[in-house]
Chain A
Amino acid sequence: MQIIDSQRIAASREKVWAALNDPAVLKQCIPGCEDLQMSSPTDMAATVVLRVGPVKATFGGKVTLSDLDPPNGYRISGEGSGGVAGFAKGGATVRLEPDGPDATILNYDVDVLIGGRLAQLGGRLIESTTKKLSGEFFAAFGAIVGGEAEAETGEAKRGWLSRLTGSAQGAE
């Protein structure tokens, strides 16, 4: 399954690029990320809690940055195993385009493959979950880098009413 979307971030392309390579920022943005350790500038080990429908599992895996083309973009990919819950792998190709000196258009193209029990039980939910998770990632990223809001006030922390009505102050 694939999701193609873009987002405008109120920050220069260089600032966005730097953030895309900052494990501390990535850790804050990857939904459910509990731990992210860098072993080289392009390789990280991550622990992510993922929930699809009735299945919730802790995934251990690696995150890799590739096709680095500073400051135009890269590919961020990951794969992990959740034991009996199954496995997930996927990534996003990110392209940055300047939108004037103080803003950047972040284009992303996400592909995800889910297998095992996650896919069996959550089959009908995979598309919506993937959209939700990638939306959360880039919303949080935009909030942190664009400075429009602190990460803590991003989508994950919004109340149920604002989530329903979409009237939050966060980047959406």
Chain B
Amino acid sequence: MNDMTPTREQRTAALEGMGCKRKRVEDIRFTQGKGNYVDDVKLPGMLHGDFVRSPHAHARVKAIHSEEALKVPGVLAVITAETLKTVNLAWMPTLAGDVQMVLADGKVLFQNQEVAFVVATDRYAADDGIAKVEVEYEPLPVLVDPFKAMDPDAPVLREDLAGKTTGAHGPRKHHNHIFEWTVGDKDLTDAAFRKADVTIKELISYHRVHPSPLETCQCVCSFDKIRGELTIWGTFQAPHVIRTVVALIAKIPEHKIHVISPDIGGGFGNKVGAYPGYICAAVASIVTGKPVKWVEDRIENLTATSFARDYHMTAELAATKEGKVTGLRVHVLADHGAFDACADPSKWPAGFFNIVTGSYDIPVAHLAVDGIYTNKAPGGVAYRCSFRVTEAAYCIERAMDILAQKLNMDPAELRLKNFVRPEQFPYHSALGWEYDSGDYATAMKKVMETVKYAGLRQEQADKRAAFKRGETREIMGVGVSFFTEIVGAGPSKNCDILGIAMFDSCEIRLHPTGAGIARVGSKSQGQGHETTWAQIIATEIGIPADNIMVEEGNTDTAPYGLGTYGSRSTPVAGAAIAMAARKIKAKAQMIAAYKLEVHEDDLEWDIDGFRVKGLPEKTMSMKDICWAAYNSVPPGMEPGLEAVSYYDPPNMTYPFGAYICVMDIDVDTGVYKVRRFMALDDCGTRINPMIIEGQVHGGLTEAFAIAMGQEIRYDDAGNVVTGSFMDFFMPTAVETPHWETDFTVTPSPHHPIGAKGVGESPNVGGVPAFSNAVNDAFSFLGSTHIQMPHDYWRNWKAAKSLGVFA
């Protein structure tokens, strides 16, 4: 060894593997405006399609007159449900086992529902054509309030389901009922409530919101009549699933469908589902023989493609007077809108909402969810959370605070008293999950120390006294939230989409010079997969991350994967990447043994290659093994160095975290100020701390948006009154608070690299932290629960209703 020989630390650093704050490689093109998005796809002769949409929330469509539209220069076709019926595509299946109109078939069920698709030579002509399509409507009674959906005299929304007393998830109780889903032991839970010293019950609503990615949903469909092949460029979070869905409903052989997801400008769950725009663009391309582009505008995005939440949760907790929780009972009224188009794994009509026992060792629990139809847009997607997990976390975290208030106990203390203890893992929850690992109390105490929690409570007590003396008009809230996520869907034993198990996949191909390509079944929408996937491979096989190209989103080249949503990429695809890398490493070891003329078992791995045990100078680097793989493999071995892995996770992963929000609210104006927000996340093994921090910042900002203002609101007539960014709260740098982050590391015992996923944790934990802060601020004035969103107006109204001013 001489001075020029790199140290072990230098060799490790050169890989930029796991744990490295590697800069995002995709940002080189994004920050220079060189990303390639769907709208950048411009093909010769490309046509543009756009929708005629319903102004009514519920109406019969008596006639559609398109003659005048067809006279508009540039307009080539007006497609209606009648057109689609000729190819049996007027309706399409949803991921939740329901069916959905592609274009209005006889009636419309929500405002801005797709009624006709105008195809023209450019977008302007299409919009001019839309203005000339005359639709005759006969308005029908509108159902907006979910609590009236199952009234005996509620309007019948889904006439197509007449007489169907059974849906995809069991019996239907009413013409507007979709399913009832129950979990847990009702008798034991009821008994726990009868014996309880203390109980609480509260209706906790999680309002309707929308993921609203800055890039809306869009696609370009191009049908090659000669080859009989359909190519679709689209903003798809799950391109392979889209290909399968198209093959199944359009009856085109799957190998003749090419789905390409180029760069995506944010998904947040909005881009998981299949929308009428995709079907119409594909049909229009098949009919015209030309490529057809469809791009949503902002209003269409907010009002028609996939809302999130709209869960109305009645939560009850039973506890001893010392504060030990003895039972949980929850009923959810789930407003699914006009069609059940939830993007959940098939067997989970309410997603993984049964994670609602949270981070607490609750011995018995019972959950019932009723899904219902209303005259609102379909959806129910997991907006920056795993399936219905943010709803569950919000429910239990609000309920715990309400219980603490009733017990006159500090909310952090109540949580510490009820946490699942480290020695209980793997922990079996009362509602059926097996939590893989956790150390909750350590995380909670660490975050409490950082914010000097006891001092905050003392300050709050002083301020409350000052408020009562009339010395200040400002109130202070400390929001405590502790969440457990359930991500990484999922094991084939209980997770599938349309019958396809929710595995994920990776194919790694190393080239002779020690570089390579990794193709993965996931699809980044901003998560930074091109950066982090290469880091996993770098650590696993000792090739620098810079020498690994990551490719996703092309169904012709990437192995079949279920896509990116529900924080599943690292838990599932990340595992597939590690397993594929290990297959390569196993073959590399055989090649190295042959070249070094030792037995395989005499080799040990050392950062970026193999060395002979006991002879540290006798080594072969992975770079050299790559070369050898293409010219001198052991006799009988196939040349080359590549591997494919399809990973079926044995269990979900359970990231967790402790968040504290400190907020001041002026009671006379309702204006709040987030003074401090501390987020501690435990996502197991950390692949790239910089990307994790970015993910946490983004997720907290969306949590802030949801808790403090974002809302898709309908008026009594079914009009969406928050259909643009003028009314739908989209925080900018001006509104966004400063975030502080921290972490603990509790690896997942069943994941190959111990990683758990993090992209959505901050949304799951953030929403209750903000809401608990607001509720905590007002609690001493006599309130128990104030519904979200907590915008200035509602804070002012809360203050007014509590008699703070006349």
Contact = CB atoms under 8 A, between A and B. Distances in A.
Contact of A120 (B52, B134, B720): B720
Interface string B43-66: 000000000110111000000000
Contact of B299 (A83, A114, A120): A120
Given A83-B131, A123-B721, A117 B55 contact: yes
Contacts of A84: 52-53, 55, 130-131
Nearest to B299: A120
A116 B715 contact: no
A123 B55 contact: no
Nearest to B715: A119
Contacts of B52: 84
A121 interface: yes
Given A121-B724, A123-B719, A116 B111 contact: yes
Contact of B724 (A81, A87, A116, A120): A120
B721 A115 contact: no
A83 B118 CA distance: 15
Contacts of A115: 55-57, 111, 717-719
Nearest to B112: A120
Interface in A91-147: 113-117, 119-121, 123-124
Interface residues of A, number: 15
A14 to B, nearest CB: 38
B718 to A, nearest CB: 8
Nearest to B720: A120
A111 to B, nearest CB: 12
A132 B701 CA distance: 39
Contacts of B718: 115
A32 interface: no
A86 interface: yes
A125 to B, nearest CB: 10
Nearest to A83: B131
Contact of A116 (B55, B722, B726): B55
Nearest to B713: A123
* Most chain A beta-carbon neighbours within 10 Å: one of B56, B130, B718, B721: B721
A38 to B, nearest CB: 24
Contacts of A114: 719
A115 B719 CA distance: 6
A123 B303 CA distance: 14
A120 B721 CA distance: 5
Given A84-B52, A117-B299, A123 B111 contact: no
Interface in B710-757: 715, 717-724, 726-727
A140 to B, nearest CB: 28
Given A120-B724, A121-B723, A121-B724, A113 B303 contact: no
A114 B111 CA distance: 12
Contacts of B111: 115-116, 120
A86 B57 CA distance: 11
B716 to A, nearest CB: 9
A123 B720 CA distance: 9
A117 B54 CA distance: 9
Given A120-B719, A120-B720, A87 B727 contact: no
A100 B299 CA distance: 54
Contacts of B56: 87, 115-116
Nearest to A84: B131
B113 to A, nearest CB: 12
A113 B717 contact: yes
B134 to A, nearest CB: 7
A87 B55 contact: yes
Interface string B130-143: 11001000000000
A115 B56 CA distance: 7
B8 to A, nearest CB: 62
Given A120-B719, A121-B726, 4 more contacts: A116-B56, A119-B715, A120-B720, A123-B727
10 cross-chain pairs, A with B, having the tightest CB-CB distances, nearest first: A116-B55, A119-B719, A123-B721, A120-B723, A86-B55, A115-B55, A84-B131, A87-B55, A120-B720, A115-B719
22 contacts: A83-B131, A83-B134, A84-B131, A86-B55, A87-B55, A113-B717, A115-B55, A115-B717, A115-B719, A116-B56, A116-B111, A119-B717, A119-B719, A119-B721, A120-B111, A121-B724, A123-B715, A123-B721, A123-B722, A123-B723, A123-B727, A124-B721
